[in-house]
Structure 1
């Protein structure tokens, strides 16, 4: 008996998105036997940002990405954009 690797379903919402001269790759995927979708954004340096919670649909996942872009801008996906420096003592 062999273990089979599950098939990955890739959403049509997946692909490269460019705004404000910043390009990221949006990956919205699910396992074939699962209903929930996951969302990952990969920046130009290969840094991956993955949402913790799954989404009921691929459209919902893409809407979550668009909401972040509308609120925080594409620069939020750049390396160091979300780093909060702590003061040195």
Structure 2
């Protein structure tokens, strides 16, 4: 049985609320490594939006999340029309 790798979560991870909508921002990488960070946003309806490309730093991932909120609005994470991949 393969061991599950442990995950390191960024200090930027957590709930984010805007315009009456709360999402969970998860920025993570394998624990104990210097690997790039991955970004996922989970909506109140459990829709998961995942970025395909990793980020060199957790701050880069956080800034991408904020830029997406600014450009598309936080409600874009509630829609299930397009594939939930950036």
TM-score computed with the length of structure 2 as normaliser: 0.86
Return the index of the structure with the highest Cα Rg: 1
5+ residue gaps, structure 2: none
5+ residue gaps, structure 1: 85-89
Tell me the residue number matched to 1:35: 35
Number of residue equivalences: 81
Q: Which has the higher contact order (CA 8 A, sep 6+)?
A: 2
Counterparts of residues 1-89 of structure 1 (less than 5 Å) = 3-32=2-31, 33-80=33-80, 83=81
* In 2, Cα distance between equivalents of 1:25 and 1:15: 5
In the TM superposition, structure 1's runs of 4+ consecutive aligned residues that sit over 6 Å from their partners are none
Deviating more after overlay: 15-24 vs 31-40: 31-40
Q: CA RMSD, aligned part only?
A: 1.6
